[in-house]
Amino acid sequence: MAAPITTVTTIVESIEDAGPDVKLFSLVDPDCWELPPFRAGAHIDLRLPGGMVRTYSLCNDPADNKCYRVAVKREPAGRGGSAKLHDQVRVGDVIGVSLPRGGLVLDAAISRFIFVAGGIGITPFLSAAALLLRIGRPDFTLHLLTRGEPPLARQVAPFVQSGHVILHDTATAGRPDLAALIGLPAPKTAIGCCGPAGMIDDFERASRDWPGERVHVERFVPPALPADPNSRPYTLALARSQIETRVEPGQTMLAALLDLGIDIPASCCGGICGACKVDWLEGSPVHRDRVLSPAERARSLMVCVAGSAGVRLVLDL
């Protein structure tokens, strides 16, 4: 039995050059219907030719409900998704996308936001900026760190002019002190960061005194998971499929499910994109992801990185 997956059929309406090695893809419903709603900066999985699945942040205003826009930077050393989008996808092509998930929680109790983005990491915060201005909550600052020309310069320009985006060209002035950019924890203030791993690591150190619920972090690449010397085999049971399998030490839950022929979407394979979320029913899962809240972990896990602390774990599959 396949996992319950909903895929939305879209067509590529336009492809725009949006900076050095960056393209902006606009995806719409073939019959011009509204697309499923999304939270600012939510993620969607693009199902690319050859069965490849890649996850990107939506960068448009959630009110723009007839279009999903994703900005993709070509990564020569990446896993091939960005190259496929840049080289093979054309206007008019059909692309299946997942329902949007995640994104920024712009809580009404928060009166000020400070965002820090590295390069193409600006995408989720562009979506948030458009929403915040539209609903009359203009107290936010977005620091964009780039080397030379920023990505999505046309989309960023109005926010630069309004003073909401501050550009930092690290090619000429070096990288600013992230602790100085976000300042000390302040009441009714939330902070967020998206960018390269080194910048994220520095941001997490700079924000260690901030309440966790007011810090939002998104990574491009999942951090390496250390090997668990205490891992033991366990039985993975699928409640609806009535199937059981043994997961060996060093084997991922995702690999075990794929071996059973279970259709599980997966993109990052490192617990940061949220594509492979599955509900669990019984057992003691070991959570190693970077996306689920404590409340979500009480019922869900990410099969690409999760394990089991006990001898048996039951999934709602």
Q: Residue 205: is its pLDDT beyond 70?
A: yes
C-alpha to C-alpha distance for 198 and 207, rounded to whole angstroms: 14
pLDDT in tens, 142-181: 999 999 999 999 999 999 999 999 999 998 888 899 999 9
Q: Residue 1: is its pLDDT beyond 70?
A: no
Which of 155-169, 241-255, 256-270 has the weakest average pLDDT?
Answer: 256-270
Q: Checking DSSP bridges between strand 312-315 and strand 277-282, what pairing results, if any?
A: antiparallel
C-alpha to C-alpha distance for 58 and 112, rounded to whole angstroms: 22
pLDDT in tens, 265-294: 777 788 888 888 999 999 999 998 888 888
112-219 adopts what CATH topology? Rossmann fold (3.40.50)
| pTM for this model (two decimals) | 0.82
What is the pLDDT, as a whole number, of residue 3?
43
Sign (positive/negative) of CA torsion 72, 75, 76, 81?
Answer: negative
**Which residues, in sequence order, are CB contacts of 71 under 8 Å at separation 6+?**
18, 22, 23, 24, 25, 56, 59, 120, 123, 151, 152
What is the pLDDT, as a whole number, of residue 198?
92
C-alpha to C-alpha distance for 137 and 130, rounded to whole angstroms: 10
What is the pLDDT, as a whole number, of residue 4?
45
Rg (alpha carbons) of the chain, rounded to whole number: 20
What CATH homologous superfamily does 234-315 map to? Beta-grasp domain (3.10.20.30)
Which of 5-9, 185-189, 192-196, 256-260 has the weakest average pLDDT?
Answer: 5-9
C-alpha to C-alpha distance for 3 and 264, rounded to whole angstroms: 6
| Partners of residue 24 on adjacent β-strands | 16, 71
C-alpha to C-alpha distance for 69 and 87, rounded to whole angstroms: 18
Residue 221 token pair: 């690449």
What is the pLDDT, as a whole number, of residue 106?
93
* 81 — pLDDT class (breaks 50, 70, 90): confident
Query: Three-state DSSP class for 199?
Result: helix
Q: What is the mean pLDDT of the chain?
A: 91
> For the chain, what is the largest distance between any 2 Cα atoms, rounded to a whole number of angstroms?
61
In the predicted model, what is the mean pLDDT of residues 56-73?
96
Q: Residue 230: is its pLDDT beyond 90?
A: no
pLDDT in tens, 14-52: 999 999 999 999 999 999 999 999 999 999 999 988 878
Q: Where are the domains of the chain?
A: 7-98, 112-219, 234-315
What is the pLDDT, as a whole number, of residue 2?
41
Q: Residue 229: is its pLDDT beyond 90?
A: no
Q: In Å, what is the CA distance from 144 to each residue of 57, 122, 208?
A: 16, 7, 21
| 74-110 as b/e: b if 16+ CB within 10 A | ebeeeeebbebbbeebeeeeebebbebbbbbebeeeb
Which of 61-65, 79-83, 115-119, 178-182 has the weakest average pLDDT?
Answer: 79-83
* 199 — pLDDT class (breaks 50, 70, 90): very high
In the predicted model, what is the mean pLDDT of residues 187-207?
94
In the predicted model, what is the mean pLDDT of residues 180-197?
95
What is the pLDDT, as a whole number, of residue 79?
75
Q: Residue 261: is its pLDDT beyond 50?
A: yes
CATH 2.40.30.10 fits 7-98, yes or no: yes
**Which residues, in sequence order, are CB contacts of 285 under 8 Å at separation 6+?**
297, 301, 306, 307, 308, 309, 313
In the predicted model, what is the mean pLDDT of residues 231-239?
92
| Partners of residue 279 on adjacent β-strands | 300
What is the pLDDT, as a whole number, of residue 66?
95
Please state, for a pLDDT cut of 70, what percent of the chain lies above it: 98
In 167-221, alpha helices (H): 170-173, 178-182, 197-206
What is the pLDDT, as a whole number, of residue 264?
84
| More confident site: 207 or 273 | 207
45 and 37 in contact (C-beta within 8 Å)?
no
In the predicted model, what is the mean pLDDT of residues 258-264?
88
Torsion of Cα atoms, 215 then 221 then 226 then 232, to 10°: 100
* 214 — pLDDT class (breaks 50, 70, 90): very high
| More confident site: 7 or 278 | 278
In the chain, alpha helices (H): 81-87, 123-134, 153-161, 170-173, 178-182, 197-206, 253-259, 294-297
Q: Checking DSSP bridges between strand 189-195 and strand 112-118, what pairing results, if any?
A: parallel
